[in-house]
Amino acid sequence: MTRLLIATNNPGKVRELQELLAELPVPLVRPYDLGITTEVAETGATYAENARLKAEALAAASGLIALGDDSGLEVDALGGAPGLHSARYAGPGATDADRRAKLIQALREAPAPRAARFRCVIAVAVPAASAAPAVHLFEGTCEGEILLEERGQNGFGYDPLFWLPDQGRTMAELPNPLKNRLSHRGRAVQAALPWLHALLTGA
């Protein structure tokens, strides 16, 4: 049976992607499920390059269609930082709470509103028997502002600091169905779903 490999073992990303991709007619698997321990260095200069690196590497290691994503938080007052380095913003071994604390400290003197956006690029790599995997890219963004105090228990990463003016709540205060519709990752998946359906069903 055809399966779709989610090219990450990050629990937060896995949970969101499983919800976002639930309508697909194939099982979703993680590298962990297949005993794959490949570590992909995120050496790209863009989200698209990093997403492609992950998807290509996991497609090659598994022989399955692989979906990789790369995402980040871009804060205007910080010149677009942490951006590509969002997951490594507070250094090796740091927790989500550490990264949020560093961001709050960096923005103490920045006047409100502290405009920011989440950006996500999804890459889907399709293995080919005699060539490099074909890779297709899809992007989603979500505009908002950064608070200097955490609000909400849902989500992960920077979600408790990411304020959505239209909703009057942070990303971490949204119920999952609404978050999945509005988030950067949700929008990237929504862009990819019609193509994925056609690929996986042959329609």
Q: Rounded distance, CA 75 to CA 137, Å?
A: 24
Residue type, 189: V
CA 124 and chain centroid, separation? 13
Q: Is 76 a catalytic residue?
A: no
Q: How far apart are the first and last CA of the chain?
A: 17
At how many degrees (to 10) do helices 11-20 and 184-201 cross? 60
Contact predicate 180/154, CB 8 Å: no
Contact predicate 189/174, CB 8 Å: no
Kindly state the tokens that stand for 115. Answer: 């405009």
Which residue in the list 70, 98, 159, 166 is annotated as catalytic? 70
Q: Rounded distance, CA 92 to CA 97, Å?
A: 13
Residues with a catalytic annotation lie at 70
